Structure 1
Amino acid sequence: MSHHLSGPNLRPPEDDARLDLTDLFVFPSTVRGHTVLIMNVNPFAPVQGEEFHPDAVYRVNVDTDGDHRADLAYSFVFSEPDSAGQTVTVHRATGEDAQRHEAAGEVILSDASVAFGPEPNIVEYGRYRLSAGLRSDPFFADLEGIGNDFQWTGNDFGIDKNVFGIVLEVPDSELGEGPVGVWARVSVVRDGALVSVDRGAHPSLTAYFNEEDAKEAYNAGEPADDRENYLEAWSAVLAHTGGYSREEAGKALGTVLPDVLRYDRRRPAAYPNGRTLTDDVTSARLAMVSGGRITGDGIGPHTDLLPDFPFLGHPHPAN
């Protein structure tokens, strides 16, 4: 999996697919001077959830000073669905507000319609563009082959799957001049309190590295604590799966610990410098965990991607 089914025992967090973060993408827009942030959730939409969770905060965090703590955050809060559908409000937070999990700061878009049909709804406000709703899942991988001792089948898990996509285009000026770090988080209100139930940036980490009893704590954690909390355990995984020495494991994990996707606009966007919709992240992770013995699964990018905003393909018919 990329980040699909990131709760314990290959289940969605809280057993609710609407709260399951699947992928994060960061790349330059087709509009000069803008960056695209995509956060996908709900890996089997719409069968396991027909709308975004109205008690959740879906959030993209941005670190602009390299301390692995949010300096800028975009939070997406969805209405209770009714006969007219569902709407989303977008908050932009900076400073201390950006480090809180609650939706805070300036409201930059309010009550925008969510699209659950074949066509996206694109909303523009100033220098922002937003689209939220049902889209084709861009993730590609031979998961059957991975689960069968790397005996490849040629079957792409994501070829007919849908997700709920949140696509936000922001001006580069908001991200500052230098490199940034980006990660996503899903929190939900439980017993009157907001609880973080999923988070991540780099693909296919929790599936390979986290024990089942560690996944909930990981999803609730902060990237700034990742290296201290997980370097030793994850180094042991690499020693087992790829024959890494302690020093080699530490070097390899330097790319993914902390779990923040680094993006430098001065360099071409290609994972792990940001992530585009066609980057072969499955092969990258297989090579990492195997110590280079496995170089890919033979599955290529999807061909239904759109050339312009919101970039994610039209949804497949529900199975």
Structure 2
Amino acid sequence: MDDARLDLTDLFAFTVPGGSTVLIMNVHPIAPAEGAHFHPDAVYRINVDTDGDHQADVAFSFVFSPFEDGRQSVTVHRATGVQARAHEADGQVLFRRVPVELGLRHEPPVSESGRYRFCAALRSDPFFADLDGIVRDFQWTGVDWGADKNVLGLALEVPDAELGDQPTIGVWARVSLRREGRLISVDRGAHPSLTAYFNAEEVKDAYNAGEPTDDWATYREPWTAVLQHTGGYDAQAAEQALHTILPDVLHYDRSAPAGYPNGRLLTDDVTSARLAMVSGGKVTGDHIGPHTDLLAHFPYLGPPHPTPPAA
């Protein structure tokens, strides 16, 4: 919708010592160092499926105040059951009107509520890739596109018990915008770089408005055709590969170490994984490594860059 604040960039899920799961949702690519803020008419959401039916059983929604005098606050809701499947911010309020850190602090303030921890802040973008090399038919430049970029990050540390009693969960994110009294889903996803490789321009709006439960029936055939074209797959091999990313839900067995596609760490090389997938193994990576500015503790996202490039 021509508004970078509504652009979902990445989703991460991993466990940390002490019996907690960390969920991180980033938006607003190429966020400026001054004036970046969340959309006050949007609902930012992380959905969690706890029983394997690709429907939300727990949902964490983040809604923001207007941006005034360089400041903004956020309220965090936790919904379950039927409320979790609606797109509205509803359910228990975990954090109310917490300040958003929009400055250049190395370590932003962290709010706590029981065993929950939360942070909303301007941070460095953890995404790493040689995007120029990709669009130049894999003539690698050695330049990490994300090395000097910022995003707006939402980091939530959740007690494991709050995400069901089974080790495996499914996670996806959504951004919805309120227009004329109703919410319109304008972006959603879990696995990185799917729309860029698989969705034609004319179906992107429908994809963003959709639900994971419908993904296999809707996208199996056209995405199979993509893999046959880009990677030389036969139909059976293409369908087998697609089972990793369709439905577009990031599955995470918390009893095993996190590492994409089992959850996702901030250092996982998802670009190389996607290149290998779409090329049928002919392109194995872009030779770009993870960022070194990540924090070793919550909220894990690195400090923002003071002079990121203009959009």
Under TM normalisation by the shorter chain, which class is it?
Answer: over 0.9
1:191 is displaced (CA, Å) by 1.7
Query: What does residue 158 of structure 2 align with?
Result: 170
Q: 1:287 aligns with which of 262, 276, 283?
A: 276
Letter in 2 for 1:59: R
Aligned residues: 305
Q: 2:199 aligns with which of 210, 221, 228?
A: 210
2 CA distance for matches of 1:114 and 1:121? 9
Query: What does residue 227 of structure 1 align with?
Result: 216
Say whether the 8 Å CA contact 1:23–1:39 is kept in structure 2.
Answer: yes
2 CA distance for matches of 1:271 and 1:49? 33
Q: Deviations 1:35-58 (Å, cap 9, x if unpaired)?
A: 100000000112796210000000
Say whether the 8 Å CA contact 1:42–1:49 is kept in structure 2.
Answer: no
Query: What does residue 93 of structure 2 align with?
Result: 107
After TM superposition, list the pairs within 5 Å mapping 1:137-176 onto structure 2.
Answer: 137-176=125-164
Q: 1:302 aligns with which of 280, 288, 291?
A: 291
Q: Percent of pairs identical after alignment?
A: 67
1:84 is displaced (CA, Å) by 6.4
* 2:58 paired with 1:58: no
Letter in 1 for 2:140: W
Query: What does residue 11 of structure 2 align with?
Result: 24
- For structure 1, the residue ranges without an aligned partner over 5 or more in a row are 1-13
2 CA distance for matches of 1:186 and 1:275? 20
Query: What does residue 9 of structure 1 align with?
Result: none
Q: Please tell me the root mean square deviation across aligned C-alpha atoms, in Å.
A: 1.1
What secondary structure sits across from 2:118 in the alignment? Answer: strand
Query: What does residue 2 of structure 2 align with?
Result: 15
2 CA distance for matches of 1:85 and 1:258? 38
Say whether the 8 Å CA contact 2:230–2:280 is kept in structure 1.
Answer: yes
Distance 1:206 1:84, change over 3 A: closer
1:312 is displaced (CA, Å) by 0.2
1 CA distance for matches of 2:253 and 2:169? 7
* 2:22 paired with 1:36: yes
Query: What does residue 241 of structure 1 align with?
Result: 230
Letter in 2 for 1:246: A
Say whether the 8 Å CA contact 2:33–2:103 is kept in structure 1.
Answer: no
Runs of 4+ residues deviating >2 angstroms: 46-49
What secondary structure sits across from 1:15 in the alignment? Answer: coil
Say whether the 8 Å CA contact 2:35–2:70 is kept in structure 1.
Answer: no
Distance 1:130 1:215, change over 3 A: same
- For structure 2, the residue ranges without an aligned partner over 5 or more in a row are none
Query: What does residue 95 of structure 1 align with?
Result: 81
1 CA distance for matches of 2:296 and 2:163? 24
What secondary structure sits across from 2:63 in the alignment? Answer: strand
After TM superposition, list the pairs within 5 Å mapping 1:171-210 onto structure 2.
Answer: 171-178=159-166, 179-210=168-199
Q: Deviations 1:122-147 (Å, cap 9, x if unpaired)?
A: 10111100000100000000000000
Say whether the 8 Å CA contact 2:110–2:118 is kept in structure 1.
Answer: yes
Deviates further, 18-27 or 75-84: 75-84
1:288 is displaced (CA, Å) by 0.2
1 CA distance for matches of 2:246 and 2:34? 31
TM, length-normalised to structure 2: 0.96
2 CA distance for matches of 1:64 and 1:150? 39
2 CA distance for matches of 1:144 and 1:181? 32
2 CA distance for matches of 1:242 and 1:49? 42
